[in-house]
Chain A
């Protein structure tokens, strides 16, 4: 498609947006509005406890993105969110709401630790991939259960994934106890052969921060999800099921199989996220290590509009808030950041509906 010399060639995207394009643009504003308004609400809270919101936000920005260490902390905190955001987004694309990401992440980290303890003495070239695969496999299993229950019995995946989160917490505590160090709730430290190296070895500027190779795995996973969703037959089927399951069934797509597989893949991605803490940071599994990263994945997927690139951007945003939150903790309790995460979710879905209504009227 080459334009003749001299002819004014206007690529489609650069033309004045017609109503459908304008409507799509309008809808895509929802995450930005949600973030802006929630920061404004946060400012009110900061004012209420007698601090200067601009100074606090400036401090968060400076400390999370202005120094090498801060950037490293932000990347480290964004890493599990990329995984959990991708897991939720993939489910959403298939029309499934995977709230079980927290439990899948948890068991992923648990499996990585157990396998890592078992194969720690093996050559790293063998032991490390095996340990990482164990994390994905455990997550996949935990995601497949609600997927199969949905496909086979029509049982709602939302309730089942919530239930399985709690089962996962109890299960890891039960199965883990024989492996825990005396009087602690954590396993022994893994052998260096199954550690994921820190990024500071490669990028000295990040010195001291726990950002590690898991980030690279996260980005590769995001690329993989993008290819799977938009460039493969299965991805097409998955999105067709998500848009309209009865229509997809009429088109000859095995809806149940796609749903079960989508949940398993979603779980695998979530489980993989466990390596950030277990193989890349602490080098042991500890009860409660996920600390809500799975639930935050829902916010990440919403703000990232279920697109792998959007998920990465949203994960970086929440990662920056979380690493900045630590720095301001002396002046403003970092719990404010947690509350704001909930507010962002509420605003994102509300703004989406309102803008969607306006967009429909524009047609």
Chain B
């Protein structure tokens, strides 16, 4: 039972990471680094809260979160694909913007600089009686949990088995070659970024729905952990989700050990250290797509 409860906690913690990390693999496979995930998640969480607060309908909240995610990602796409500016700088700019803007809205709408009033969370789905599995039931019955699992599997198929995925990957490796075959590099890259925005928006919705409110800075670095997981997972959706489970388990262990006298910081550092080791080639070689981070500019070729 203890083990099952621990597993349930790990799964719950992993969901937002996995959604954002799976999304990031779309963006990066197409050649666009998406450090803006942190800000996109924050916008998603706020949009969920606002829509759920005004309408009382959590599904409307979910839709609003996806919309906010896509719109924020569109800004990233405009700057990086449209204007061909540096992707990392753009991502950081969006994260700064989101941190300020969400607090601004929080103060204007809810007259609080720390949190919103309570809003409804997403209801449970009792599919096939999954709800009755001991300990794990409530976690598995969360709609976004099921959606995250389905999206991960779907994304793995889409990236590695579909025509769209082949095209997307080709322009993350050699955009000139893809363009010479008549593919629109800007179109596909934009699609990759927007997809990652939609998923990161969902991740934000999960956070707000779980906590039943929006709190200032509630993403708390999760967007960066998602990027790390995607790297450890070698730019594949399944690998990214697996890394998220590992990171989620480390965090669950941290919570379990709270109050036991064992310091939590070493476990806190774990995801970051694992990522650095993976990047340096100590845990298998993490090789990024060849053209990731490089704006595609035919004029410069």
Contacts and interface: CB of A to CB of B under 8 A. Distances in A.
B155 to A, nearest CB: 21
Interface string B205-248: 00000000000000001001001100100000000000000000
B89 A343 contact: no
B265 A345 contact: no
Nearest to A155: B279
Contacts of B299: 357, 360
B166 interface: no
Contacts of A350: 78-79, 83, 85
A263 to B, nearest CB: 14
B238 to A, nearest CB: 21
Most buried by B among A97, A153, A170: A170
B133 interface: no
A152 B113 CA distance: 45
Given A335-B100, A339-B104, A163 B89 contact: no
B146 interface: no
A338 interface: yes
Nearest to A360: B299
A217 to B, nearest CB: 26
Interface in B252-270: 263, 265-266, 268-269
Interface string B92-114: 11111111110110011000010
Contacts of A292: 96, 99
A349 B86 CA distance: 7
B84 A353 contact: yes
A113 interface: no
B233 to A, nearest CB: 13
Given A342-B98, A342-B100, A346-B97, A153 B221 contact: no
A138 interface: no
Contacts of A33: none
Given A159-B275, A159-B279, A162-B227, A339 B85 contact: no
A290 to B, nearest CB: 14
Contacts of B269: 166-167, 170-171
A339 B101 contact: yes
B187 interface: no
A166 B221 contact: yes
A173 B279 CA distance: 25
A72 B179 CA distance: 55
B224 A302 contact: no
Given A159-B279, A166-B221, A338 B85 contact: no
A97 B75 CA distance: 22
Interface string A223-267: 000000000000000000000000000000000000000000000
A154 B171 CA distance: 22
Interface in A114-166: 149, 152-153, 155-156, 158-160, 162-164, 166
Interface residues of B, number: 47
Interface residues of A, number: 48
A346 B288 contact: no
B150 interface: no
B265 A174 contact: yes
Contact of B104 (A158, A173, A299, A335): A335
Nearest to A146: B276
Contacts of A360: 299
B263 A342 contact: no
A339 B97 contact: yes
Contacts of B281: 153, 155
A159 B231 CA distance: 9
B288 to A, nearest CB: 7
Contacts of A7: none
Contacts of B231: 159
Interface in A301-328: 302
A49 B88 CA distance: 32
A136 to B, nearest CB: 23
A59 B97 CA distance: 23
Contact of A160 (B39, B78, B276): B276
Interface in A330-347: 333, 335-346
Contacts of A300: none
A68 B271 CA distance: 47
A298 B86 CA distance: 12
A338 B224 contact: no
B157 to A, nearest CB: 27
Contacts of A298: 89, 92
A284 interface: no
Given A153-B280, A335-B100, A346 B88 contact: no
Contacts of B275: 159, 163
Contacts of B103: 333, 335, 338
Given A296-B96, A341-B96, A344-B93, 8 more contacts: A159-B227, A299-B96, A335-B101, A335-B107, A342-B97, A342-B98, A343-B97, A350-B85
10 contacts: A45-B104, A97-B89, A99-B92, A160-B276, A163-B224, A167-B273, A174-B266, A338-B96, A339-B97, A341-B100
Interface of A: 45, 49, 97, 99, 149, 152-153, 155-156, 158-160, 162-164, 166-167, 170-171, 173-174, 177, 292, 295-296, 298-299, 302, 333, 335-346, 349-350, 352-354, 357, 360
